Amino acid sequence: MELQVKAADGRTLAAATWGRPDGRPVFLMHGSPGSRLGQTPRSSLLSRLGLRVITFDRPGYGESDRLPGRRVSDAAEDVRIIAEQLGIERFSVVGRSGGAPHALACAALLADRVVRTAALVSIAPWHAEGLDWQAGMSASNRGSYRRGERDDDEGRHLSTTLRIRSRDIRDDPQRLLDQLRGELPATDRWVLASGTMTSLLRASYREALRRDRGGWVDDALAFRQPWGFDVVDIPGEVLLWHGADDVYAPVEHTVWLGERIPHARVDIRPFEGHFGAMRVMPDVLHWAAQEPGEGAVAWPH
């Protein structure tokens, strides 16, 4: 089911629900770039697991209106508004890659409503103390997060770089996957050899950039600004999953987060990369939807 929700400032947020209408609700936050249409397990599987997954386009992606200057923390308000529109009081939140910091924002700022949170292959805050933020990243990611002397330099650089990449990807989403394969470890190339996975990613990329590059630029800028919350203030149960061979969000980012989030469970998988998170997504969603306590699904699987 697709729906459009109005934010308090009049912006339109495009969302979709998958699985059982009466299932346990889980918000799934897409990557960067990404959209409400990609990387969601089949509805038949979600129904078997008793899940109702809610996805939405972050501002500037797909059919959601742009919110220039947004912060990572702004995602919590968007999730709250969509949950109220759907009549959902309590829910879980899962984020993969660029969606992971936004999931952590919900854990911090909607703590009274979030059951469990999972952040897969996440980055850490830009000014993370003691972390060499760009170490181990692929050349393309380091270019997207180039450190400019001033923030406006960074904004102009990102806008120019991503305008060209967005145009090319919109014309042919396979182009981004082909570019990625040249930088990926063997474990990720194996994941992307699946026709189902590549079809999901192509659909997500095409929808993400259907208007322009705005959402992608705003994500990248939001990641290098203060997030609007401190991860040490996250009170609930959080799963941090990461592949040790990740070259887009190096595993040291999750190690840093795991040392600071009070109730974090850290699961680092050897011989897995960035896209390994897509393979474990059904298990993660199932874990996240369970109320903590007796009878809850255990992790690791």
267 three-class SS:
strand
Query: From CA 124, how far away is CA 133, in angstroms rounded?
Result: 8
Identify any residues that bridge with 239 across adjacent strands, giving them in sequence order.
Answer: 118, 265
List b or e across 41-58, with b for residues whose CB sees 16 or more CB atoms inside 10 angstroms. Answer: beeebbeebebbbbbbbb
Domain ranges across the chain: 2-288
The helices-and-strands tally (H runs, E runs) of the chain is 12, 8
Q: How many CB atoms lie within 10 A of CB 257?
A: 26
Residue 149, pLDDT score: 41
Domain 2-288 in CATH 1.20.120.80? The answer is no
Of the candidates 213, 74, 98, the one whose C-alpha atom is nearest the C-alpha of residue 157 is 213
Distances (CA, A) of 111 to 92, 103, 296: 10, 11, 19
Asked if the peptide bond before residue 33 counts as cis, ω within 30 degrees of 0, the response is yes
Length of the chain in residues, anyone? 301
* Residue 238 C-alpha from the chain's centroid: 15
Residue 167, pLDDT score: 65
Distances (CA, A) of 238 to 22, 111, 127, 287: 24, 11, 22, 11
Query: From CA 70, how far away is CA 202, in angstroms rounded?
Result: 26
Q: Where are the alpha helices (DSSP H) in 68-114?
A: 74-85, 100-109
First to last CA, the chain: 30
Identify any residues that bridge with 266 across adjacent strands, giving them in sequence order.
Answer: 240
Render each residue's pLDDT in the chain as its tens digit; 301 residues: 899 999 989 999 999 999 999 999 999 999 999 999 977 888 889 999 999 999 999 999 999 999 999 999 999 999 999 999 999 999 999 999 999 999 999 999 999 999 999 999 999 999 999 999 999 998 777 766 665 444 555 566 666 666 656 666 666 666 666 776 778 888 888 887 877 777 888 888 889 988 888 899 899 899 999 999 999 999 999 999 999 999 999 999 999 999 999 999 999 999 999 999 999 999 999 999 998 875 667 776 5
Residue 206, pLDDT score: 86
Of the candidates 25, 66, 3, the one whose C-alpha atom is nearest the C-alpha of residue 213 is 66
Q: How many CB atoms lie within 10 A of CB 157?
A: 17
The structure tokens listed for 132 are 């060499």
The structure tokens listed for 39 are 């990387």
Contacts of 74 (CB under 8 A, 6+ apart): 59, 67, 105, 228
